Amino acid sequence: MTPVHFSFSSAFILGLMGLAFHRTHLLSALLCLEGMMLSLFIALALWTLQFESTSFSTAPMLL
């Protein structure tokens, strides 16, 4: 597992765990959801750059 893959996977898992543990407070749950979406967006953007394919370039925008 590359360090980039590990960092974005751990950011997503930390956001998911934060969402699971802080469901009672709306603001903290929204921050955890935002962190999850940000890690997914960056991971998809880096994935398209890694494969150098233009057909996957719209994937982060569709997310």
* Residue pair 16/33 in contact by the 8 Å Cβ criterion: no
CA atoms within 13 A on the CB side of 41: 9
Domain boundaries, the chain: 3-62
Residue-wise pLDDT tens for the chain (63 aa)?
788 888 888 988 998 898 888 777 888 888 888 999 999 888 888 887 787 777 776 766 776
* Residue pair 15/36 in contact by the 8 Å Cβ criterion: yes
CATH of domain 3-62: 1.10.287.3510
pTM, two decimals, is 0.75
